[in-house]
Amino acid sequence: MTATDSPHVLVHTEGRAGFITLNRPKAINALTHAMVRRIDEALTAWEDDPAIGTVVIEGAGERGLCAGGDIRAIHDDARSGGRASVGFWRDEYRLNARIARYPKPYVAFMDGIVMGGGVGVSAHGSVRVVTERSRVAMPETGIGFVPDVGGTYLLGRAPGELGTHLALTGAQAGAADALLTGLADHFVPSHDLPRLAEELTRAPAHEAVARFSRPAPPGELADRRAWIDACYAAETVETVVDRLTDSGVPEAKEAATILLSRSPVALKVTLAAIRRARRLDSLESVLDMEFRLSCAALSSADLVEGIRAQVVDKDRDPRWSPPTLAEVTDDAVARYFAPAGAPEPFSA
């Protein structure tokens, strides 16, 4: 066994497997720029190494694989008018695409909380494992941001309008719902993950995972598909909210209430992004689009305010600008899709 440790990413090999462990458990392994670079270095080292047949990514601690990017750092960067986040996103999105195209099995243990950037380093992998503890989400509209890391690509390809629902509300998907929406491939009970990891050191990934896979406990989205498809197929967010409110379904009305608490700008940009992502022909082209959205959000009032309310001050009372959906103009949405003024990850 060989090991190479850095403070927040632990890398080691055992048998035929290379293991990447995200190691910021107090922050639920939130990603920093240095962590993104270290993951990429490990993938480079193993890509042409004949001794390594499988890559495994997992999270340290008991709370989850990864809660997303380090949004406090993004908040501080945005407040100061900095550009550090732009460089972070460029490298992060390139890593997301690399994971999707990686030539060896890339096994993601999506145990516990897997959100935002955590989805980016897991759900693009070729073998994605969820457990009964999994909570998979793209909760960006709640902080005035838009799903990124290829999130609009993944959710835009979910059955019907399930992905639109998850993208706009930021709702968490358990194991069965992650499988239904295409965010995961296999359910393995969490107590079996250590044995699965051991098996991956000596057996081909798909064979090992198949031996531990079980039927997932029932989810929620399958039974809600009818009203989700009917309501979220609307052309505008305002109409989505009206359909949810008038549906007569309690869960739909709850979704409407959630939407009305989110950033109005982020909701409209997200709906447009999901629809555009469906028409784009590759993950890379979607990531280029998301890079433009992220750069635009960095200079928006809602991103700073959303992170302040949810993470910094934790008063859970964001003051969105503008405060209502009706006040968000088409021009304001279009501004997010304009060229970012910085080289996009895959523009060369």
Distances (CA, A) of 33 to 38, 70, 89: 9, 9, 8
Active site residue 69: yes
Active site residue 148: yes
Q: How many CB atoms lie within 10 A of CB 293?
A: 25
DSSP type of residue 321: S
H helix and E strand count, the chain: 16, 10
Q: Which residue has the tokens 């390594």?
A: 52
DSSP type of residue 215: P
Phi-psi region of 234 (alpha: psi -120 to 50; beta: other; left: phi over 0): beta
Q: Which of 70, 111, 148, 177 is catalytic?
A: 148
Sheet containing strand 2-6, strands side by side: 2-6, 9-14, 17-22, 54-59, 106-110, 127-130, 186-187
3 state SS of 135: strand
Cβ neighbours of residue 248 closer than 8 Å, sequence gap 6 or more: none
Q: Which of 77, 140, 185, 290 is catalytic?
A: 140
Q: Which of 59, 69, 163, 170 is catalytic?
A: 69
3 state SS of 10: strand
Q: Which of 64, 117, 151, 163 is catalytic?
A: 117
Q: Which residue has the tokens 């469906």?
A: 278
The tokens for 83 are: 């550009």
Active site residue 161: no
67 vs 28: CA distance, rounded Å = 5
Active site residue 140: yes
Catalytic residues, by residue number, are: 69, 117, 140, 148
